[in-house]
Structure 1
């Protein structure tokens, strides 16, 4: 077998590249996610890895997608081109999942309500710049569907906006997130909304704060079930950090006040 190049090294979550494949530990929801990825491939959505089954040591095997991902993704959404392409990718992904029927006995990392409401899609659940594969300012792939589940589109939109507005202080934006100057968060929210197809960002700040709180509870729940890396994150104090993010968002609403995204006045979703 070809040599293994480590993509992510954690005692309970070692992800490696072997040739043109990615090998990942199998999670309880793997079969459900595989069904989703196969649906996306059949629907002509070109941005997800191919499902190649399981290897001889029980890892799931996915096709490798060439490009930059992980920490490199932060710099890609600073530029307006990358930010709008990121939002359009999310809209295209949601559209492609709208007619997906989960298999009988589907298992999701996050508990999904019984049945599907008319406005639900299959949300990615972790739609951040790090889970997009980039070539230049263009997304060419979407990876890591561990937190996918049926939910309203707004769930993914709010999650993404936390990271690309971003709901972070200026010091973090300049030091860690590749911004050359403090970001105009209000403008970036409007640009993202418009690129996604929303005509208004009304209520979006509250939606992001609610999604931040949901993330905290999800991390707490997965850690309590022994899932990694959440258990290690909680042991190292992540819940305090997540609570701090919510507090920052509430106290800095003046940086994120909503204004209409599009002049046509029509809400598309």
Structure 2
């Protein structure tokens, strides 16, 4: 046991799940009630040839899930805020959504979270923060890094394509008050980035017209969900105490102020 612990490297970056470690070429994560559903999804993605997600190895003697380690970089970096990176992420998200075709869209077994009112179309990741997207350099030796994989599927669940897109753009456009943005994201043209993502993904006009309304709905519902989760303690309580609720409220107010300008880029 001591020898095993010496080789466990804590992995940082996630807001909610504590105790995530790297052991060799694997990642060990505490299991949750949604782990069986997530493992079924990851096995489906492997079976259909989607390469942008970890593979399931199994469970260890401590009851933790074992996944393959996906090498690369995460977080907000110069290489991850470019237009090319955003377009690449849109393509990766589209490929992920398409890869979930044929997977059961039952709502049982998944983590609870805010959602669209429309019937589920795909399995959404629903938590594509910069910490959950892996960037790697192209094999041609060029300087640009591109999004290659999605990790941390703890909040995945059946939803609509547009809801998962809205959740992604919340962090990557970003749809947020500038005071709450990472410095590298503070001065970006959010409207242009919304359009760029939608173009690269192939979002149809009817969904573009609904995107901002759904973003507003998501803000209100995610506020309520996070407040409820915070009452259970743990990582959610720490996020709430750190001002997560206030950031959601500021983002919603910012969206109300700039909605017409953003909408013009989409339609």
Shorter-chain TM range is 0.7 to 0.9
Measure, in 1, the Cα distance between the counterparts of 2:176 and 2:16.
Answer: 30
For 1:40, the equivalent position in structure 2 comes to: 45
Instruction: Specify which structure has the higher proportion of helix.
Output: 2
Does the aligned pair in 2 maintain the 1:168–1:248 contact within 8 Å? yes
1:80 lines up with 2:87 in the alignment: no
For 2:141, the equivalent position in structure 1 comes to: none
1:222 lines up with 2:221 in the alignment: no
Deviations 1:72-124 (A, max 9, x none): 4x544421110100011111100011210268x941111699xx94x611111
Q: Please list every run of 5 or more consecutive structure 1 residues that lacks an aligned counterpart in the other structure.
A: 262-269
For 1:52, the equivalent position in structure 2 comes to: 57
Deviations 1:40-71 (A, max 9, x none): 000100011111111111111110001002x2
In structure 1, the residue corresponding to 2:44 is in which secondary structure?
Answer: helix
1:110 lines up with 2:112 in the alignment: yes
For 2:148, the equivalent position in structure 1 comes to: 140
In structure 2, the residue corresponding to 1:183 is in which secondary structure?
Answer: coil
* Compared CA separation, residues 129 and 32, structure 1 to 2 (3 A): same
Measure, in 2, the Cα distance between the counterparts of 1:246 and 1:54.
Answer: 40
1:233 lines up with 2:246 in the alignment: no
For 1:250, the equivalent position in structure 2 comes to: 256
* Compared CA separation, residues 79 and 111, structure 1 to 2 (3 A): closer
Match of 1:15 among 14, 20, 28: 20
Q: Please list every run of 5 or more consecutive structure 2 residues that lacks an aligned counterpart in the other structure.
A: 138-144
* Compared CA separation, residues 33 and 11, structure 1 to 2 (3 A): closer
Give the superposition deviation at 1:220: 1.9
Give the superposition deviation at 1:3: 1.0
Q: How many residues align?
A: 251
1:178 lines up with 2:184 in the alignment: yes
Does the aligned pair in 1 maintain the 2:39–2:56 contact within 8 Å? yes
Measure, in 2, the Cα distance between the counterparts of 1:110 and 1:145.
Answer: 13
Does the aligned pair in 2 maintain the 1:23–1:62 contact within 8 Å? yes
In structure 1, the residue corresponding to 2:86 is in which secondary structure?
Answer: helix
Give the superposition deviation at 1:12: 6.8
* Compared CA separation, residues 110 and 79, structure 1 to 2 (3 A): same
1:164 lines up with 2:172 in the alignment: yes
For 1:208, the equivalent position in structure 2 comes to: 215
* Compared CA separation, residues 51 and 259, structure 1 to 2 (3 A): same
